[in-house]
Amino acid sequence: MNDQTRAKLDGMQRLALFVGVAGLIGLVIGFTQNPHQFFQSYLFAFFIPLGFALGSLGMTMINYLTGGFWGLGARRIFQAGIRTIPFMVLLFLPLAYAMLTHPEAAAGGDGHGAGSWWLYPGTDHAFAEANRKVFSPEKELWLSGPFMVGRAAFYFLSWIITGFWILKNAKKYDETGDAKADGMTRLISGPGFLFFFLTMTFAAFDWAMSVQPLWFSTMYGVIFIVGQGLSTLAFAIIFLSRVKHLEPFKHFAKPNLFADLATLMFATVMLWAYTSFSQFLIIWSANLKEEAPWYVLRTSHGWQAIAIGLLVLHFALPFFLLLMRRIKKDASFVPFVAALLIVMRFVDVYWQVAPPFQPDGLSVHWLDFAAPVALTGIWVWYFIGRLKAHPLTSPRQELQLEAALGGAHH
Protein backbone atom coordinates (compact mmCIF):
# COMPACT_ATOMS: atom_id res chain seq x y z
CA MET A 1 0.00 0.00 0.00
CA ASN A 2 1.55 3.33 -0.95
CA ASP A 3 1.16 6.65 0.86
CA GLN A 4 -1.55 7.90 -1.46
CA THR A 5 -3.71 4.82 -0.87
CA ARG A 6 -3.10 4.94 2.86
CA ALA A 7 -4.03 8.63 3.01
CA LYS A 8 -7.25 7.98 1.09
CA LEU A 9 -8.22 5.01 3.28
CA ASP A 10 -7.37 6.99 6.43
CA GLY A 11 -9.56 9.84 5.21
CA MET A 12 -12.48 7.53 4.44
CA GLN A 13 -12.07 5.82 7.79
CA ARG A 14 -12.07 9.13 9.67
CA LEU A 15 -15.22 10.22 7.86
CA ALA A 16 -16.94 6.92 8.65
CA LEU A 17 -15.94 7.19 12.29
CA PHE A 18 -17.21 10.77 12.50
CA VAL A 19 -20.55 9.84 10.94
CA GLY A 20 -20.80 6.69 13.02
CA VAL A 21 -20.05 8.41 16.30
CA ALA A 22 -22.52 11.20 15.51
CA GLY A 23 -25.15 8.51 14.91
CA LEU A 24 -24.16 6.66 18.09
CA ILE A 25 -24.59 9.82 20.15
CA GLY A 26 -28.07 10.07 18.63
CA LEU A 27 -28.72 6.45 19.58
CA VAL A 28 -27.63 7.03 23.18
CA ILE A 29 -29.89 10.08 23.47
CA GLY A 30 -32.70 8.10 21.90
CA PHE A 31 -32.16 5.23 24.33
CA THR A 32 -32.52 7.51 27.36
CA GLN A 33 -35.64 9.15 25.93
CA ASN A 34 -37.49 6.19 24.44
CA PRO A 35 -35.88 2.79 24.89
CA HIS A 36 -38.68 1.00 23.04
CA GLN A 37 -38.08 3.09 19.95
CA PHE A 38 -34.33 2.65 20.37
CA PHE A 39 -34.56 -1.13 20.17
CA GLN A 40 -37.03 -1.00 17.29
CA SER A 41 -34.81 1.30 15.22
CA TYR A 42 -31.68 -0.57 16.20
CA LEU A 43 -33.14 -3.90 15.11
CA PHE A 44 -33.84 -3.00 11.49
CA ALA A 45 -30.63 -0.99 11.10
CA PHE A 46 -28.56 -3.90 12.46
CA PHE A 47 -29.40 -6.09 9.48
CA ILE A 48 -27.61 -4.05 6.82
CA PRO A 49 -24.08 -4.00 8.33
CA LEU A 50 -24.72 -7.64 9.21
CA GLY A 51 -25.53 -8.10 5.53
CA PHE A 52 -22.22 -6.52 4.49
CA ALA A 53 -20.31 -8.84 6.83
CA LEU A 54 -22.15 -12.07 6.10
CA GLY A 55 -22.65 -11.25 2.43
CA SER A 56 -18.85 -11.01 2.21
CA LEU A 57 -18.62 -14.51 3.62
CA GLY A 58 -21.27 -15.82 1.23
CA MET A 59 -19.77 -14.10 -1.82
CA THR A 60 -16.28 -15.38 -0.96
CA MET A 61 -17.57 -18.94 -0.75
CA ILE A 62 -19.56 -18.60 -3.99
CA ASN A 63 -16.48 -17.23 -5.73
CA TYR A 64 -14.28 -20.09 -4.54
CA LEU A 65 -16.87 -22.51 -5.91
CA THR A 66 -17.51 -20.80 -9.26
CA GLY A 67 -14.33 -18.87 -9.91
CA GLY A 68 -14.54 -15.65 -11.86
CA PHE A 69 -12.69 -12.38 -12.17
CA TRP A 70 -15.31 -10.49 -10.13
CA GLY A 71 -14.36 -12.34 -6.96
CA LEU A 72 -10.66 -11.93 -7.58
CA GLY A 73 -11.08 -8.18 -8.06
CA ALA A 74 -13.23 -7.79 -4.96
CA ARG A 75 -11.47 -10.46 -2.90
CA ARG A 76 -9.72 -8.15 -0.44
CA ILE A 77 -12.95 -6.28 0.18
CA PHE A 78 -14.83 -9.50 0.88
CA GLN A 79 -12.00 -10.75 3.10
CA ALA A 80 -12.03 -7.56 5.16
CA GLY A 81 -15.82 -7.98 5.32
CA ILE A 82 -15.40 -11.46 6.79
CA ARG A 83 -13.03 -10.01 9.40
CA THR A 84 -15.85 -7.73 10.61
CA ILE A 85 -18.07 -10.66 11.67
CA PRO A 86 -16.64 -10.71 15.24
CA PHE A 87 -17.40 -6.97 15.42
CA MET A 88 -21.03 -7.78 14.57
CA VAL A 89 -21.17 -9.80 17.81
CA LEU A 90 -20.52 -6.53 19.63
CA LEU A 91 -23.25 -4.77 17.66
CA PHE A 92 -25.58 -7.68 18.43
CA LEU A 93 -25.35 -7.12 22.21
CA PRO A 94 -28.24 -4.61 22.40
CA LEU A 95 -30.46 -7.18 20.67
CA ALA A 96 -29.30 -9.88 23.11
CA TYR A 97 -30.20 -7.48 25.91
CA ALA A 98 -33.66 -7.02 24.35
CA MET A 99 -34.10 -10.79 24.21
CA LEU A 100 -33.09 -11.40 27.82
CA THR A 101 -34.86 -8.54 29.60
CA HIS A 102 -38.33 -7.07 29.82
CA PRO A 103 -39.44 -3.46 30.06
CA GLU A 104 -40.28 -2.37 33.59
CA ALA A 105 -43.81 -1.16 32.97
CA ALA A 106 -46.48 -3.37 31.49
CA ALA A 107 -46.60 -2.39 27.86
CA GLY A 108 -50.32 -2.86 27.40
CA GLY A 109 -50.72 0.83 26.70
CA ASP A 110 -48.36 0.58 23.72
CA GLY A 111 -50.84 -1.57 21.88
CA HIS A 112 -48.86 -4.69 22.61
CA GLY A 113 -51.73 -6.50 24.27
CA ALA A 114 -50.92 -8.78 27.15
CA GLY A 115 -47.40 -9.00 28.51
CA SER A 116 -44.34 -6.86 28.10
CA TRP A 117 -41.29 -7.19 25.86
CA TRP A 118 -38.82 -5.01 23.99
CA LEU A 119 -38.96 -6.61 20.54
CA TYR A 120 -39.93 -10.25 20.73
CA PRO A 121 -43.38 -11.13 22.13
CA GLY A 122 -42.31 -14.77 22.25
CA THR A 123 -39.89 -14.00 25.09
CA ASP A 124 -42.82 -13.15 27.35
CA HIS A 125 -44.71 -15.91 29.13
CA ALA A 126 -47.93 -13.88 29.38
CA PHE A 127 -48.04 -13.49 25.60
CA ALA A 128 -47.53 -17.24 25.17
CA GLU A 129 -50.32 -18.01 27.62
CA ALA A 130 -52.70 -15.58 25.96
CA ASN A 131 -52.10 -17.21 22.56
CA ARG A 132 -51.73 -20.79 23.77
CA LYS A 133 -53.99 -22.21 21.02
CA VAL A 134 -51.47 -21.28 18.32
CA PHE A 135 -48.38 -20.88 20.52
CA SER A 136 -47.30 -24.27 21.78
CA PRO A 137 -45.01 -24.72 24.82
CA GLU A 138 -42.35 -26.02 22.40
CA LYS A 139 -42.54 -22.80 20.42
CA GLU A 140 -42.37 -20.79 23.63
CA LEU A 141 -39.22 -22.66 24.59
CA TRP A 142 -37.70 -22.11 21.14
CA LEU A 143 -38.40 -18.38 21.26
CA SER A 144 -37.43 -17.90 24.91
CA GLY A 145 -34.75 -15.25 25.49
CA PRO A 146 -31.88 -17.45 26.74
CA PHE A 147 -32.39 -20.01 23.96
CA MET A 148 -32.49 -17.22 21.34
CA VAL A 149 -29.22 -15.77 22.65
CA GLY A 150 -27.67 -19.24 22.82
CA ARG A 151 -28.58 -19.89 19.21
CA ALA A 152 -27.22 -16.49 18.21
CA ALA A 153 -23.91 -17.42 19.84
CA PHE A 154 -23.92 -20.66 17.86
CA TYR A 155 -24.67 -18.87 14.56
CA PHE A 156 -21.94 -16.30 15.09
CA LEU A 157 -19.47 -18.96 16.14
CA SER A 158 -20.18 -21.02 13.02
CA TRP A 159 -19.79 -17.97 10.74
CA ILE A 160 -16.56 -16.91 12.44
CA ILE A 161 -15.08 -20.41 12.23
CA THR A 162 -16.07 -20.83 8.57
CA GLY A 163 -14.88 -17.35 7.63
CA PHE A 164 -11.54 -17.38 9.42
CA TRP A 165 -10.81 -20.95 8.36
CA ILE A 166 -11.19 -19.84 4.73
CA LEU A 167 -9.10 -16.72 5.40
CA LYS A 168 -6.32 -18.81 6.95
CA ASN A 169 -6.10 -21.05 3.87
CA ALA A 170 -6.43 -18.15 1.45
CA LYS A 171 -3.56 -16.39 3.21
CA LYS A 172 -1.43 -19.52 3.15
CA TYR A 173 -2.05 -19.93 -0.57
CA ASP A 174 -1.28 -16.26 -1.19
CA GLU A 175 2.05 -16.49 0.61
CA THR A 176 3.32 -19.96 -0.30
CA GLY A 177 1.35 -21.05 -3.37
CA ASP A 178 0.48 -24.25 -1.52
CA ALA A 179 -2.02 -26.00 -3.80
CA LYS A 180 -3.48 -27.88 -0.83
CA ALA A 181 -4.45 -24.61 0.87
CA ASP A 182 -6.06 -23.47 -2.37
CA GLY A 183 -8.01 -26.72 -2.51
CA MET A 184 -9.05 -26.27 1.11
CA THR A 185 -10.68 -22.89 0.38
CA ARG A 186 -12.95 -24.65 -2.10
CA LEU A 187 -13.47 -27.69 0.09
CA ILE A 188 -14.67 -25.48 2.97
CA SER A 189 -16.78 -23.31 0.69
CA GLY A 190 -19.14 -26.05 -0.53
CA PRO A 191 -20.47 -27.38 2.76
CA GLY A 192 -19.73 -23.99 4.33
CA PHE A 193 -22.18 -22.24 2.02
CA LEU A 194 -24.88 -24.81 2.71
CA PHE A 195 -24.35 -24.46 6.44
CA PHE A 196 -24.31 -20.67 6.20
CA PHE A 197 -27.61 -20.74 4.30
CA LEU A 198 -29.24 -22.85 7.01
CA THR A 199 -27.86 -20.87 9.96
CA MET A 200 -28.72 -17.51 8.38
CA THR A 201 -32.23 -18.75 7.62
CA PHE A 202 -32.68 -19.60 11.29
CA ALA A 203 -31.07 -16.31 12.32
CA ALA A 204 -33.60 -14.42 10.17
CA PHE A 205 -36.42 -16.42 11.77
CA ASP A 206 -35.06 -15.67 15.26
CA TRP A 207 -34.12 -12.02 14.94
CA ALA A 208 -36.61 -10.64 12.42
CA MET A 209 -39.54 -12.97 11.79
CA SER A 210 -40.23 -13.49 15.51
CA VAL A 211 -41.26 -9.86 16.03
CA GLN A 212 -44.57 -11.36 14.88
CA PRO A 213 -44.21 -14.84 16.35
CA LEU A 214 -47.63 -16.06 15.22
CA TRP A 215 -46.69 -15.64 11.55
CA PHE A 216 -44.31 -17.83 9.60
CA SER A 217 -42.88 -18.20 6.11
CA THR A 218 -40.18 -20.60 5.01
CA MET A 219 -39.16 -18.17 2.25
CA TYR A 220 -38.29 -15.53 4.83
CA GLY A 221 -34.66 -16.46 5.41
CA VAL A 222 -33.87 -16.63 1.70
CA ILE A 223 -35.09 -13.07 1.20
CA PHE A 224 -32.65 -11.91 3.87
CA ILE A 225 -29.74 -13.93 2.47
CA VAL A 226 -30.31 -12.64 -1.06
CA GLY A 227 -30.50 -9.14 0.42
CA GLN A 228 -27.12 -9.69 2.09
CA GLY A 229 -25.54 -10.68 -1.21
CA LEU A 230 -27.10 -7.64 -2.83
CA SER A 231 -25.86 -5.28 -0.09
CA THR A 232 -22.35 -6.68 -0.28
CA LEU A 233 -22.10 -6.33 -4.06
CA ALA A 234 -23.47 -2.80 -3.86
CA PHE A 235 -20.97 -1.95 -1.13
CA ALA A 236 -18.07 -3.43 -3.12
CA ILE A 237 -19.05 -1.37 -6.17
CA ILE A 238 -19.23 1.85 -4.16
CA PHE A 239 -15.97 1.15 -2.34
CA LEU A 240 -14.08 0.27 -5.53
CA SER A 241 -15.37 3.39 -7.26
CA ARG A 242 -13.79 5.49 -4.46
CA VAL A 243 -10.35 3.87 -4.76
CA LYS A 244 -10.21 2.86 -8.42
CA HIS A 245 -7.47 5.37 -9.26
CA LEU A 246 -5.14 4.16 -6.47
CA GLU A 247 -2.54 1.41 -6.11
CA PRO A 248 -3.18 -1.50 -6.29
CA PHE A 249 -6.85 -1.14 -7.26
CA LYS A 250 -6.13 0.78 -10.45
CA HIS A 251 -4.69 -2.36 -12.06
CA PHE A 252 -7.97 -4.23 -11.95
CA ALA A 253 -10.80 -1.84 -10.95
CA LYS A 254 -11.61 -1.29 -14.61
CA PRO A 255 -14.92 -1.11 -16.48
CA ASN A 256 -14.95 -4.92 -16.82
CA LEU A 257 -14.85 -5.44 -13.06
CA PHE A 258 -17.64 -2.94 -12.48
CA ALA A 259 -19.66 -4.60 -15.24
CA ASP A 260 -19.18 -8.05 -13.63
CA LEU A 261 -20.09 -6.89 -10.13
CA ALA A 262 -23.04 -4.88 -11.44
CA THR A 263 -24.27 -7.90 -13.41
CA LEU A 264 -24.23 -9.95 -10.21
CA MET A 265 -25.99 -7.10 -8.42
CA PHE A 266 -28.58 -7.16 -11.20
CA ALA A 267 -29.02 -10.90 -10.65
CA THR A 268 -29.51 -10.42 -6.90
CA VAL A 269 -32.02 -7.62 -7.54
CA MET A 270 -34.03 -10.08 -9.63
CA LEU A 271 -33.59 -12.83 -7.08
CA TRP A 272 -34.79 -10.51 -4.33
CA ALA A 273 -37.85 -9.62 -6.40
CA TYR A 274 -38.44 -13.28 -7.19
CA THR A 275 -38.24 -14.47 -3.57
CA SER A 276 -40.20 -11.50 -2.20
CA PHE A 277 -42.94 -11.88 -4.77
CA SER A 278 -43.09 -15.66 -4.40
CA GLN A 279 -43.71 -15.32 -0.68
CA PHE A 280 -46.44 -12.78 -1.39
CA LEU A 281 -48.04 -14.85 -4.16
CA ILE A 282 -48.16 -18.02 -2.06
CA ILE A 283 -49.73 -16.23 0.90
CA TRP A 284 -52.08 -14.21 -1.30
CA SER A 285 -53.22 -17.37 -3.10
CA ALA A 286 -53.81 -19.36 0.08
CA ASN A 287 -55.45 -16.39 1.81
CA LEU A 288 -55.30 -18.03 5.24
CA LYS A 289 -55.98 -16.10 8.39
CA GLU A 290 -52.68 -17.28 9.91
CA GLU A 291 -50.64 -15.79 7.09
CA ALA A 292 -52.48 -13.06 5.20
CA PRO A 293 -52.62 -10.46 8.03
CA TRP A 294 -48.85 -10.03 7.72
CA TYR A 295 -49.36 -8.52 4.27
CA VAL A 296 -52.57 -6.73 5.21
CA LEU A 297 -50.60 -4.88 7.88
CA ARG A 298 -47.84 -4.01 5.38
CA THR A 299 -50.15 -2.78 2.64
CA SER A 300 -52.32 -0.46 4.70
CA HIS A 301 -52.04 2.38 7.23
CA GLY A 302 -49.41 4.20 5.21
CA TRP A 303 -47.21 1.12 4.73
CA GLN A 304 -48.60 0.64 1.21
CA ALA A 305 -46.55 3.67 0.12
CA ILE A 306 -43.38 1.87 1.25
CA ALA A 307 -44.53 -1.35 -0.43
CA ILE A 308 -44.97 0.48 -3.73
CA GLY A 309 -41.69 2.30 -3.15
CA LEU A 310 -39.94 -1.06 -2.80
CA LEU A 311 -41.51 -2.33 -6.00
CA VAL A 312 -40.36 0.72 -7.95
CA LEU A 313 -37.01 1.59 -6.34
CA HIS A 314 -35.81 -1.80 -5.12
CA PHE A 315 -36.81 -3.57 -8.32
CA ALA A 316 -38.18 -1.74 -11.39
CA LEU A 317 -35.79 1.23 -11.59
CA PRO A 318 -32.53 -0.63 -10.79
CA PHE A 319 -33.70 -3.49 -13.02
CA PHE A 320 -34.01 -1.27 -16.08
CA LEU A 321 -30.88 0.72 -15.29
CA LEU A 322 -28.81 -2.42 -14.83
CA LEU A 323 -30.13 -3.92 -18.05
CA MET A 324 -27.83 -1.54 -19.87
CA ARG A 325 -24.23 -2.65 -20.15
CA ARG A 326 -23.17 0.95 -20.68
CA ILE A 327 -24.36 1.80 -17.17
CA LYS A 328 -22.94 -1.35 -15.57
CA LYS A 329 -19.47 -0.50 -16.90
CA ASP A 330 -19.65 3.14 -15.89
CA ALA A 331 -17.71 3.50 -12.62
CA SER A 332 -19.07 7.03 -12.18
CA PHE A 333 -22.75 6.08 -12.51
CA VAL A 334 -23.19 2.51 -11.28
CA PRO A 335 -22.20 3.45 -7.67
CA PHE A 336 -25.34 5.62 -7.53
CA VAL A 337 -27.47 2.62 -8.46
CA ALA A 338 -25.60 0.66 -5.76
CA ALA A 339 -26.22 3.41 -3.20
CA LEU A 340 -29.92 3.46 -4.08
CA LEU A 341 -30.04 -0.29 -3.53
CA ILE A 342 -28.34 -0.06 -0.13
CA VAL A 343 -30.86 2.57 0.95
CA MET A 344 -33.65 0.32 -0.33
CA ARG A 345 -32.19 -2.61 1.63
CA PHE A 346 -32.77 -0.55 4.79
CA VAL A 347 -36.28 0.32 3.63
CA ASP A 348 -37.06 -3.32 2.83
CA VAL A 349 -35.94 -4.55 6.26
CA TYR A 350 -37.80 -1.65 7.88
CA TRP A 351 -40.94 -2.71 6.01
CA GLN A 352 -40.41 -6.31 7.14
CA VAL A 353 -39.82 -5.73 10.86
CA ALA A 354 -41.16 -2.33 11.91
CA PRO A 355 -44.94 -2.48 11.17
CA PRO A 356 -45.94 -4.48 14.29
CA PHE A 357 -44.25 -1.83 16.44
CA GLN A 358 -46.47 0.89 15.01
CA PRO A 359 -50.07 -0.16 15.63
CA ASP A 360 -51.45 3.22 14.56
CA GLY A 361 -49.89 3.08 11.12
CA LEU A 362 -46.61 4.20 9.63
CA SER A 363 -44.85 6.78 11.77
CA VAL A 364 -41.15 7.24 11.13
CA HIS A 365 -39.11 8.27 14.17
CA TRP A 366 -35.85 10.23 13.96
CA LEU A 367 -34.10 7.23 15.49
CA ASP A 368 -35.00 5.31 12.32
CA PHE A 369 -32.50 7.57 10.57
CA ALA A 370 -29.92 7.78 13.37
CA ALA A 371 -29.64 4.00 13.77
CA PRO A 372 -28.74 3.14 10.14
CA VAL A 373 -26.28 6.05 10.00
CA ALA A 374 -24.67 5.01 13.29
CA LEU A 375 -24.35 1.32 12.53
CA THR A 376 -23.28 1.75 8.89
CA GLY A 377 -20.73 4.42 9.82
CA ILE A 378 -19.21 2.44 12.63
CA TRP A 379 -19.14 -0.72 10.52
CA VAL A 380 -17.39 1.02 7.62
CA TRP A 381 -14.85 2.44 10.09
CA TYR A 382 -14.08 -1.03 11.40
CA PHE A 383 -14.11 -2.51 7.88
CA ILE A 384 -11.47 -0.09 6.57
CA GLY A 385 -9.38 -0.82 9.65
CA ARG A 386 -9.48 -4.54 8.81
CA LEU A 387 -8.70 -3.78 5.16
CA LYS A 388 -5.64 -1.72 6.11
CA ALA A 389 -4.37 -4.33 8.57
CA HIS A 390 -3.67 -6.83 5.79
CA PRO A 391 -1.78 -6.54 2.49
CA LEU A 392 -4.01 -5.15 -0.26
CA THR A 393 -2.32 -7.41 -2.77
CA SER A 394 0.26 -10.15 -3.07
CA PRO A 395 2.53 -11.21 -5.94
CA ARG A 396 0.42 -14.35 -6.38
CA GLN A 397 -2.82 -12.44 -6.47
CA GLU A 398 -1.34 -10.05 -9.01
CA LEU A 399 -0.43 -13.02 -11.18
CA GLN A 400 -3.95 -14.41 -10.87
CA LEU A 401 -5.42 -11.03 -11.77
CA GLU A 402 -3.05 -10.71 -14.70
CA ALA A 403 -4.10 -14.13 -15.97
CA ALA A 404 -7.80 -13.34 -15.45
CA LEU A 405 -7.54 -10.02 -17.25
CA GLY A 406 -5.72 -11.72 -20.14
CA GLY A 407 -5.60 -9.67 -23.30
CA ALA A 408 -8.42 -7.47 -22.08
CA HIS A 409 -6.28 -4.67 -20.71
CA HIS A 410 -3.69 -4.15 -23.43
Partner 1 sequence: MSSASENIQPIYGYLAEYSDTEPLIAAAKAARAEGFQMMECYSPMPVHGLPEVLGYKNNVALLVLVGGITGMLVGFSLCYWVSVLQYPLNIGGRPFNSWPAFVVPMFETTILFASLTAVFGMLALNGLPQPYHPVFNVPRFDEATRSRFFLLIASSDPKFDMVKTREFLTRLAPLSVDEVPH
List residues near partner 1 by CB under 8 A. 277, 280-281, 284-285, 287, 323, 406-408
133 or 410: whose CB is closer to partner 1?
Answer: 410
Q: Give yes or no for a contact between 224 and 47, defined as CB atoms under 8 angstroms apart.
A: yes
The minimum distance between CB 270 and partner 1, in angstroms, equals 11
137 or 407: whose CB is closer to partner 1?
Answer: 407
The minimum distance between CB 80 and partner 1, in angstroms, equals 31
255 or 385: whose CB is closer to partner 1?
Answer: 255
User: Could you write out the DSSP letters of every residue in 327-370?
Assistant: HHH-TTTHHHHHHHHHHHHHHHHHHHHSGGG-TTS----THHHH
106 or 282: whose CB is closer to partner 1?
Answer: 282
7 or 296: whose CB is closer to partner 1?
Answer: 296
The minimum distance between CB 281 and partner 1, in angstroms, equals 6
The minimum distance between CB 257 and partner 1, in angstroms, equals 15
Identify the three-state secondary structure at position 84: coil
76 or 314: whose CB is closer to partner 1?
Answer: 314
Contacts of 364 (CB under 8 A, 6+ apart): none
H or E stretch covering 180: helix 179-207
Using CA atoms, how far apart are residues 36 and 42, in angstroms rounded to an integer?
10
Signed CA dihedral, 74, 78, 79, 81: sign only: positive
The minimum distance between CB 242 and partner 1, in angstroms, equals 28
Question: In Å, how far are 50, 203, 266, 296 from 42, measured between CA atoms?
Answer: 12, 16, 28, 24
The minimum distance between CB 323 and partner 1, in angstroms, equals 7
The minimum distance between CB 118 and partner 1, in angstroms, equals 35
Instruction: Indicate the residue type of 404.
Output: A
Q: Give yes or no for a contact between 258 and 329, defined as CB atoms under 8 angstroms apart.
A: yes
CA angle 111, 346, 117 (to 5 degrees): 30
Using CA atoms, how far apart are residues 256 and 409, in angstroms rounded to an integer?
10
202 or 280: whose CB is closer to partner 1?
Answer: 280
